[in-house]
Amino acid sequence: MAEAERIIGTPDTPDAAGDGQERPDAEQEQEQAPERPRGKRRVAVLFAVALFAYLLDLGSKMLVVAKLEHHEPIEIIGDWLRFAAIRNAGAAFGFGEAFTIIFTVIAAAVIVVIARLARKLHSLPWAIALGLLLGGALGNLTDRIFRAPGVFEGAVVDFIAPKHFAVFNLADSAIVCGGILIVILSFRGLDPDGTVHKD
């Protein structure tokens, strides 16, 4: 009988079990309370980085289309680096031009995955990496949707042309930098939620 009263009384009376078994839970809640604002700050960093990368890419493409398209390339560092406007129907760096719609779907899926992952984000480096990926994906997805020849089949504006390398844009650069950072973080055992594991 006493055991039944103890079990029934525990939810309503934190001290029913003597010394109060609810105290550890309360202490854990107090320890976890500061984590929520920190997580929100990491999400804010993610979207701030994404917005910066997206606007930088969008602005550069608008400038290239207005001032450079249908004009001679501009030499930045002799023959080693030029700005030359091209329209790319493929993936980053001009690969796979026959799969424009597939790349559009992949970019949209990446954006959805990053948005869902942001809810559990507590790592600043991961916030930066995912922000670069998100901004780059949004930049190229904008071209896919709004540029010719049509919705979801639009050609991406590329203009950075190093010697003996494919032409690319700032969105491609953001995606590559974000991907490299994610690989480094993964090798170091740092997870998006801020925990560190060692294999």
The tens-digit pLDDT sequence of the chain (199 residues) is 444 444 434 444 444 444 444 445 544 444 454 445 678 899 999 999 999 999 999 999 999 999 999 999 999 998 899 999 999 886 655 555 555 677 778 888 999 999 888 888 999 999 999 999 999 999 999 998 999 888 888 899 999 999 998 899 999 999 999 999 999 999 999 999 889 887 6
The pLDDT value recorded for residue 48 is 97
The pLDDT value recorded for residue 22 is 47
Residue 80 structure tokens: 């080693």
The pLDDT value recorded for residue 96 is 55
* pTM exceeds cut of 0.85: no
The pLDDT value recorded for residue 150 is 83
Q: Which residues are catalytic?
A: 158, 172
Three-state helix/strand/coil letters over the chain:
CHHHHHHHHCCCCCCCCCCCCCHHHHHHHHHHCCHHHHHHHHHHHHHHHHHHHHHHHHHHHHHHHHHCCCCCCEEEECCCEEEEEEEECCCHHHCCHHHHHHHHHHHHHHHHHHHHHHHHCCCHHHHHHHHHHHHHHHHHHHHHHHCCCCCCCCCEEEEEEECCCCCECHHHHHHHHHHHHHHHHHHCCECCCCCECCC
- What Cα–Cα distance (Å) separates residue 89 from each residue in 73, 129, 135, 150, 180? 20, 26, 19, 11, 24
What does the CA dihedral 116, 119, 124, 125 come to, rounded to 10 degrees?
A: -20
Residue 157 structure tokens: 């504006």
What does the CA dihedral 106, 111, 116, 120 come to, rounded to 10 degrees?
A: 120
